[in-house]
Copies of this chain bind each other. A is one copy, B any other.
Amino acid sequence: MNSSNTPNDWSRHLATSTRRLRRSAVREILKAAVRPDVISFGGGLPAPECFPDALIARASARLLDAEHGGRTLQYGESEGVAELRALLAESVDRPVEEVLITSGAQQGLDLLGRALLDQGDTVLVENPTYLGALGAWRPHGVRFIPLPIDGDGMVVEPLDGLLRTERPKFLYTMPNFHNPGGAVLSLERREGLIRLAEAHGFLIVEDDPYGDLRYDGDSLPSLLSLAQARGIEDQVVRLRSFSKVVAPGLRVGWLRAAPTLVDVLVKLKQAADFHPNILGQRIILDVIRDPGFNEHLAHLRKTYRERRDAMESAVAQFFPEGTTWTTPVGGMFLMAKLPHQLNAVSCLRRALDAKVAYVTVDNFTVDDSGTDAVRLNFTNASPERIREGIERLGNLFRETANRSFQLTS
């Protein structure tokens, strides 16, 4: 058998869309950085010591007892466990038909892409934006139009002009504690965005995995609630996750969309994996109904606030002069822009040698900008480890800055 005649060379057999795939840099760094001697700011990991283990173990024991085991372990509905859907629908003041439970919020992004995107379609995204969304949608062969973002979130004003010539399939935004930037979309801009959606009739995908992790100030109304107030709620898809406030290993997220869109997403979900795992869904249902859940959330916020503070003060102390960032008032990330066009991509190898990991912001952009910026996760290490890791990184960046300054002067 001649090997040229076999399908061993898979590249000849791949679908066109598959050739557009990239391996997730963050997932790869996550893999490299699991060694306990590495201080990793690279992933988006919650703190395992803050998982509500006791609540989860109690729920699991109940759900797997002789009375409940049969139901917990059997096939279930593609839409998700009915009681959980009802509770989530109530939380956004919408009918249950508009809620779909997904295998993590990532699956919501993937299903939306599959439901809506054809090759050549346009998607408006903040730049930088969440790389998992880009990864899910890039294989469809879409054109991303980058929207600038500042300390108050997406800059909404230029959109009006853009929408006179572009007909995007949707606009994707993370209004709360943006990944990677950390910014919060201001109330004024939220209202402006909804007014534009009303005027131009486009769809908004509102991704809000970190909404419950606010450390300072008060929450702002969701884009869904603002749209609902104007009767255009079917123009907003809202995605949520339990990965950050309960546990990511359970793989449970959810979304709320127009019922006709949910109907399509359910069919896609059936074909993709039938339904989200039932044990995970039912654990979540028990945990969020548990009187101890609010206490868990308060503890989580307190822990993460301390870590955010530790990271911000360490960055201020150790990073090169001229480094800029927006204080993240919630979420999991601080994005730092380095001065002097420092190339954070080329520093990464030495950082890993020094046993510190981060991801560079070029992974999150649609124009490959961001090589001078790093996304730093502050939820998955103690304040002491954060300080130590940021000091190592700061030393490395400062040395590099000094060297390149000497070279060019």
A residues with CB within 8 A of B: 1, 5-10, 13-18, 21-24, 27, 30-31, 43-46, 48-49, 51, 53, 56-57, 60-61, 64-66, 69-78, 102-104, 106-107, 110, 114-118, 132, 135-136, 139-140, 169, 198, 201-203, 231-232, 234-235, 243, 247-251, 258, 260-261, 264, 266-268, 270-280, 283
Contact = CB atoms under 8 A, between A and B. Distances in A.
Given A135-B271, A251-B275, 10 more contacts: A10-B260, A21-B264, A24-B271, A30-B75, A103-B277, A107-B272, A110-B271, A110-B272, A249-B277, A280-B280
Nearest to A72: B249
B61 A57 contact: yes
Contact of A203 (B7, B45, B64, B278): B7
A234 B6 contact: yes
Contacts of A106: 271-274
A279 B268 CA distance: 24
B48 A267 contact: no
A21 to B, nearest CB: 5
A51 B157 CA distance: 58
| Identical subunits present | 2
Contact of A6 (B13, B70, B232): B232
A250 B232 contact: no
13 contacts: A1-B198, A8-B235, A15-B116, A15-B117, A17-B114, A21-B264, A24-B267, A48-B73, A53-B66, A53-B70, A74-B248, A74-B249, A107-B273
A65 to B, nearest CB: 7
A6 B232 CA distance: 8
A169 B16 CA distance: 13
A53 B63 CA distance: 10
Contacts of A276: 251
A38 to B, nearest CB: 15
Contact of A74 (B45, B117, B268): B45
A260 B8 contact: yes
Contacts of A234: 6-8
A201 B8 CA distance: 9
Contact of A75 (B15, B43, B60): B43
Nearest to A10: B260
Contacts of A268: 18, 21
Given A15-B117, A73-B250, A22 B267 contact: yes
Contacts of A6: 201, 232, 234-235
Given A8-B258, A251-B274, A280-B280, A15 B51 contact: no
